Amino acid sequence: MNRNFKLILAVGMAAVLVGCGSNGSSIDPQRRANRNVDYDQYFTEIKADAAPAKPDEKGFIRRWTILEPINKPNSGNSGFTDSYILTELTKEYFKGQFTADINSLPVTGDEVIVESEAPRAGGRGGFGGFGGGAPQGASRPQGGAPGAGAARPQGAPQGAPGQARPQGAPQGGAPMGGFGGFGGMMGGAPAAAAAPQTVKDTLAWHSVDSKLFNIKLIRFATGTSNGQKRYGLIFNAFTVVNCEEDMVVRLAAGSNASSIWWVNGEKVLTLQADRRMVADDGMSKRITLKKGKNLVRAAVINGPGMSDMCMRFYNEDGSIVKNITITNK
Amino acid sequence: MKKIFQLGLVALVSVSMSETVMAQIGSPFIHDPATVMECDGKYYTWGTGGSGLVSEDGWVWTSGQSIPRVGAAPDMIKIGDRYLLAYSSTGGGLGGGHAGAIVTQFGKTLDPKSPDYGFPPESRDTVAYSVADEDCDAIDAGLILTPEGRLFVTFGTYFGFIRVCELDPATGKRLESFGEDVNIAVDCEATTMIYHDGYYYLLGTHGTCCDGINSTYNIVCGRSKSPTGPFIDNVGRDMVEGGGKMVLGCRDGYTGAGHFGRVVVEEGVEKMSFHWEADYSMSGRSTLAILPIVWRNGWPEAGYNVKDGVYEIESERRGYALEIATEYVRMAGGRGMGGMFGGGGQQQANTSIPFQKLEDVIGNWPKGNIDVRVIDYQFRPNQKWEFVAQNEGALGTPYYKIVIAGTNRALAATAGKELTTVPEFTGADEQLWSVDQLTDGTYRICPKAVPGTTDKVCLISVGDSNASLGKFDFNDVNCKWNLRQY
């Protein structure tokens, strides 16, 4: 979302100020070192037979199965119109992407091969540079260089983080660099003007419990790609909501940036445009969660900047739904 | 009222009552209306001389059944399942004698077609009076039932004191234990008392009555912790010393607000019934009016019904604007980092950027129903709503058609208590909306009907970015909207 622009600008300005300042700093180096963003700080990988989870105390659903992100290297977020996100978030990248079959859901380690646009390397003209390169220690997984593996969840099954293998990605390319200057930041269309090159990615699913109420997709991206993926991505996720009886509810979600949400195969909410993630930013019309299992799917797209999402249900009377359980199958 | 018998207005009012009046913006003919009452789904009021008005919906008023007693400036209050009428007999008017009397009577129903209709004479009682030339003229009764269930009546006019005494709510008769009447104001007309948030408010009318378009009648108030006063206005002046804070005076096209009555529809929805001394659009006749009550800093004010026009519908929840969910169309120009940061553009002359126009975007809008949502206001064509009052309504508000400005695309309720916009306004009930200003100044917007249900619902925010229909709750910010013009 282009509110990210402010963040990018602030970070950039800060970088300029730091660069212009003295060589020393009064900040304890350990404080900087403590500001790591390890994948493990955000997610706990869970097994397929994990005990059902409950919504958290505020009703947020933290258990999701998320596919390693698909490249969609938008240089800005201002073009996320209804038609654009409908096109991009309902595009079939792999077989079974839109299944509503509760019995054929992927599990951790399942892989898909996805053909997507190649991330653009370099080219961080103007302010683009502010967002392309993360400040030292601010957002990269600890461990430094891509491939070090420190950001990967420990003990992950086959195909889990660290084994997602961008195929044909530019070597040494910065994660989603190249905003393309002001035009891209301020008003550029999401898609690159030139025909994009494509790459094939083998992407794996990960069942996780988020340690935060919101699912920090950007940390999921960096943590599952050895820092190769950060911006310009599409995320696909699902969760299974188990009900003891039919329930009339509203799905309430927030996302950075745009997203579409489905329940049992029906699109129930669209959050178009350049958005921050806000709890209850959007709410669906009244929908019925069936007794038994209900499949909730989300797709989120973002260009540069933070990406995350959160979701919970409300009863028709405005109270938060808590009498459900959450599973990954 | 100033003994308008002397002014010959009784005859005028009587003639007026013989006409069938279709109220536009609430203008049926009456003077000194009693507080508007609801009974079995209809609304009633009576004025000086006993003339009555009735309304099926609270907006369109016609001549109705007169009350059985001809008197001055009646008031009415519902106690349990009965209606207590209070009216005045008068000694002759401003230049005449001042031997007035306040009379009460109970009735079971206000529907003249009911077999129970009537105000039996056996319940009639004179509860207060003034003798020939004392400093009070006991007319213009106003009734209040306190939160504790005590019943008081205020009375008096421009000839001296306004007084209060207590009545028995079971019988409507005077409670002798109250003792002597208490002076609570001076030189007012049409007083009544209301209770709000720990205070009793005494409302009265100042200014010149009964002078048509030159009348200066205006409604004022003071407040007290006790129903017997002292009632102090907003500058610390006792109403016995002539004080009073303005509630409503004159508005363009309407002069002389008087004879306040309060109707509490439900929490947060309050109306004031009163009369205009003169409605310019109705030959300067005296007309019934109903406006919202807004409470500001602890004082009541007359609110506003929505005028026909184009508005942003802004959610009180988030401050976002209701819009139809059409594709966002970016505007060209008007950007550039040089301009943002002050560099590079300092030497350039400014140009005016035209607003996005309906014709710029409407061609790409879907032709069928289009959903609504709530999002940042950018004064775009899909965010501009035109309100147009219709010739029917609810209590104190017309129904409006609400369309995207420049089109006939209308906001509509749908089955399942959700929302859409339909390409053409047809006047169907689900496309008609009442708009009530609430006591905090925000607005409630309700469909006349929702397909498939009889539930009473209003426009609500669901999340920051969506809208739906739901039960009104004044304490729920989701139920409130602001109507903005820029």
Token output for B166: 């207590």
Residue tagged 């039996």 (tokens): B120
How many CB pairs below 8 A link A and B? 57
Does the distance separating the beta carbons of A252 and B463 come in below 8 Å?
yes
Confidence band for B35, pLDDT divided at 50, 70 and 90: very high
**3-state secondary structure at position A282:** strand
Residues of A in contact with B317 (CB under 8 A): none
List Cβ<8 Å contacts ≥24 apart for A94-101: A97/A236, A98/A262, A98/A265, A98/A297, A100/A262, A100/A264, A100/A265, A100/A295
ipTM above 0.85, yes or no: no
pLDDT tens sequence across B169-182:
999 999 999 999 99
Q: Do B328 and A282 touch (CB under 8 A)?
A: no
Q: Which of residues 316-335 of B touch A (CB under 8 A)?
A: 325-328, 330, 335
User: pLDDT per residue over B297-346, tens digit each?
Assistant: 999 999 999 999 999 999 999 999 999 999 999 998 776 555 555 555 56
Question: Looking at beta carbons, which residues of chain B come within 8 Å of A314?
Answer: 462
Reading phi first (left if > 0) and then psi (alpha if -120 to 50, else beta), residue A181 is in left
| CATH topology for the B9-302 domain | Tachylectin-2; Chain A (2.115.10)
A31 Cβ partners below 8 Å, 6+ apart? none
Choose which CATH entry (3.40.50.10680, 2.80.10.50, 3.30.980.10, 3.30.750.24) describes domain B309-329+354-484. Answer: 2.80.10.50
Give the chain A residue nearest B374 (alpha carbons).
A282
CA distance A203 to chain B (A): 32
Residue A317: CB atoms within 10 A of its CB come to: 8
Encode pLDDT of B94-108 as tens digits: 566 788 999 999 999
Say if the Cβ atoms of B337 and A127 lie within 8 Å.
yes
Query: Digits of tens for pLDDT over chain A (329 positions)?
Result: 444 444 444 444 444 444 444 457 777 777 666 666 789 999 999 998 899 999 999 999 999 999 999 999 998 998 999 999 999 999 999 988 988 788 889 999 999 999 999 887 643 332 333 333 333 333 333 332 333 333 333 333 333 333 333 333 333 333 333 333 333 333 344 444 567 789 999 999 999 999 999 999 999 999 999 999 999 999 999 999 999 999 999 999 999 999 999 999 999 999 999 999 999 999 999 999 999 999 999 999 999 999 999 999 999 999 999 999 999 98
Nearest CA in chain B to A80: B328
> In B, which residues are within 8 Å of A82 by CB distance?
325-328
Residues of each domain in chain B carrying CATH 2.80.10.50: 309-329+354-484
**Shortest Cα–Cα distance, A61 to chain B (Å):** 17
* pLDDT the model gives residue A146: 31
Nearest-neighbour CA in chain B from A194: distance (Å):
21
The β-bridge partners of B26 are none
Say which of B416, B464, B468 has its CB closest to residue A280.
B464
Which position has the higher pLDDT, A98 or B405?
B405
Q: What is the pTM of this model?
A: 0.84
**How close does chain B come to A152, measured CA to CA in Å?**
35
User: In A125-196, which ranges are E strands?
Assistant: 165-167
B330 contacts on A by Cβ (under 8 Å): 78-79, 187
What mean pLDDT do residues B6-19 have? 34
- Answer for the pair B51, B98: CB distance below 8 angstroms, yes or no: no
* pLDDT in the model for residue A174: 32
The continuous run of DSSP H or E covering A19 comes out as helix A4-20
Whether the CB of B225 is below 8 Å from some CB of chain A: the reply is: no
Range(s) of chain B covered by CATH 2.115.10.20: 9-302
Record: contact B330-A282, CB cut-off 8 A: no
Taking an 8 Å cut-off on Cβ atoms, the answer to whether A269 and B466 are in contact is: yes
Contacts of B337 in chain A (CB under 8 A): 126-127, 182, 186
Residue in chain B nearest A252 by alpha carbon: B463
If phi > 0 it is left, if psi is from -120 to 50 it is alpha, else beta; for residue B186 that is beta
Q: Identify the residue whose tokens are 């009639």.
A: B124
Taking the domains of chain A in order of start, what are their residue ranges?
4-23+45-327
> Closest approach of chain A CAs to the CA of B462, in angstroms?
5
Partners of residue B87 on adjacent β-strands: B103
Nearest Cα neighbor of A93 from A203, A224, A216 is A203
